[in-house]
Amino acid sequence: KIRNTSRERKKRKLFQTLKQKLCSTPILALPEETEDFVVYCDASLKGFGAVLMQREKVIAYASKQLKVYEENYTTHDLELGAVVFALRLWRHYLYGTKCVVFTDHKSLQYILNKKELNLRQRRWIELLSDYDCEIWYHPGKANVVADALSRKEMDKPLHVRALMMTVHNDLPKQIREAQEEAIKRENVKAEILGRLIKQIFEFYPDKTRFGNHVWFSRFGGLRDLVMHESHKSKYSIHPGSDKMYQDLKLLYWWANTKADIATYIVQIKNHLLTARSRQKSYADKRAKSLEFEVGDMVLLKVSPWKGVVHFGKRRKLIPRYIGPFKILARVGHVAYTLELPEELKGIHNTFHVLNFNKCLAEGDVVVSVDEIQPDDKFHMIEEPVEVVDREVKRLKQSRIHIVKVRWNSQRGPKFTWKRKDHIKKKYPHLFTSKDEANKADKSS
């Protein structure tokens, strides 16, 4: 009877506690109709937080952790992103209804009237225009719930380094079985132990020890297993034969331990050399060996890459090779000296063989150097031909004279607008007295 009374008291206490929690703790309410919605938003360096309320009752809570690229947003964009996050999340409640959005960022009240916006803000403003909402300022200290949701930090993910390990739960059992097999009369001679079994070895119920070390017999393949695990472990990172031997001898012992470890390391190195030679053979099959003789005609590569012979900007229609040029001498194993024309006299005439291509065309088919007009550094030369138009660009407090210039581009006529003073300083021949007089007549 006493037990039943205590049990009843406990039940009543739990019931009263549950009733109190349900009556006093704020719980989520169901929305009524489609009006009087209020949204509280906040953002932090960790994430977004928002609360949807109706007639002072909480309808829903929401929070979101920032993505990696969102952590680089400015404070203004983060606060606006929190508003957009809430509107997108509760679109089914807020779309087509009038609502009020509270934020602790005061400048967001005037975001709809702001003229200078970046691309991200323009995209978000287009979304805001779909809703009938007003953005009001709410101090951060009063915006307690949304502020707490945005600052609530989730457990940081643990970055675990991938370990290449094999866990053997039955390793003690394997050691004991291998030792029992080794100390049999017919196997003692194979282990080269003789009288050492009775004099040095210590026998335990779980395993046999050699002094303070666990004895590994040749049976069961345990020696190879331990060496393999010790070598490939991420903790040791391929220690080599000496370090590997010093680590293993602290725990294990078997006859000729150091020699077995050295042999194991040599085998691994041989495997690596074999793999490297096999991969090299694949690359050698596709490699082209270029060798030329003195007097051969070759084409010189017009390379768009930096550090090699460079003719300027990369373009699709620029010829890839120019020439042909005659080889005058061989320099070392991979370089040749060419007979260059007068147009390229400012360029060193010795090139690496990779800049050449075999000339398989007839002698009269020549790609002229004049087509690309390189300077002494093998850069493309583009000269202005004439000034075709003039304008005055009006700024708030100044006026800038600009001219439209036609260039001798390899892709056809090219026109660009440049400042007149810059062009006139560099190419004064484009601005003759006759042109200036015509300009004065037009202005008058």
pLDDT in tens, 53-91: 888 888 888 888 898 888 888 888 899 999 999 999 998
266 and 331 belong to one structural domain: no
Range among 152-161, 337-346, 430-439 rated most confident: 337-346
pTM of the model: 0.33
181 and 218 belong to one structural domain: yes
> pLDDT value at position 84?
92
The parent domain of residue 245 ranges over 171-276
Query: How many other C-beta atoms can be found within 10 angstroms of the C-beta atom of residue 41?
Result: 31
Q: Quick one: what percent of the chain has pLDDT higher than 70?
A: 63
- Band (pLDDT 50/70/90 cuts) for residue 329 is very high
Task: Please report whether residue 11 resides in a domain.
Answer: no
Q: Please give the tally of structural domains in the chain.
A: 4
CA 255 to CA 250: how far, in whole Å? 14
Task: Please report whether residue 287 resides in a domain.
Answer: no
User: Which helix (H) or strand (E) covers residue 45, if one does?
Assistant: none
177 and 268 belong to one structural domain: yes
CA 335 to CA 291: how far, in whole Å? 10
> pLDDT value at position 39?
92
| pLDDT above 80 for 414 | no
CA 220 to CA 242: how far, in whole Å? 25
Task: Please report whether residue 414 resides in a domain.
Answer: yes
114 and 177 belong to one structural domain: no
List, as own/partner pairs, every contact residues 57-66 make where C-beta atoms lie below 8 angstroms and the sequence separation is at least 24, other chains included. Answer: 57/29, 58/26, 58/27, 58/28, 58/29, 59/28, 59/29, 59/30, 59/31, 59/93, 60/28, 60/90, 61/28, 61/145, 61/149, 62/86, 62/89, 62/90, 62/149, 63/149, 63/150, 63/152, 65/154
Both tokens assigned to 208: 């046999």
Over residues 201-230, mean pLDDT: 62
Do 106 and 137 form a contact (C-beta atoms < 8 A)?
yes
Within 13 A of 346's CA, how many CA atoms are on the CB side? 8
- Band (pLDDT 50/70/90 cuts) for residue 336 is very high
Task: Please report whether residue 112 resides in a domain.
Answer: yes
pLDDT in tens, 274-317: 988 888 888 777 766 778 888 888 888 875 444 444 444 445 55
Q: List the beta strands (DSSP E) in 258-409.
A: 297-301, 321-331, 335-339, 350-352, 356-358, 384-394, 399-409
187 and 211 belong to one structural domain: yes
Task: Please report whether residue 411 resides in a domain.
Answer: yes
> pLDDT value at position 85?
93
119 and 219 belong to one structural domain: no
Task: Please report whether residue 316 resides in a domain.
Answer: yes
Do 49 and 41 form a contact (C-beta atoms < 8 A)?
yes
User: Can you spell out the DSSP letters for 283-320?
Assistant: HHHHPPPP---TT-EEEEE-B-STTS-B-SS--TTS-S
CA 422 to CA 405: how far, in whole Å? 12
47 and 102 belong to one structural domain: yes
| pLDDT above 50 for 444 | no
| pLDDT above 70 for 366 | no
CA 290 to CA 283: how far, in whole Å? 15
42 and 141 belong to one structural domain: yes
Task: State the average pLDDT for the chain.
Answer: 74
The CATH number that applies at residue 247 is 1.10.340
The CATH number that applies at residue 126 is 3.30.420.10
pLDDT in tens, 244-283: 777 777 777 777 778 888 888 888 888 888 988 888 888 7
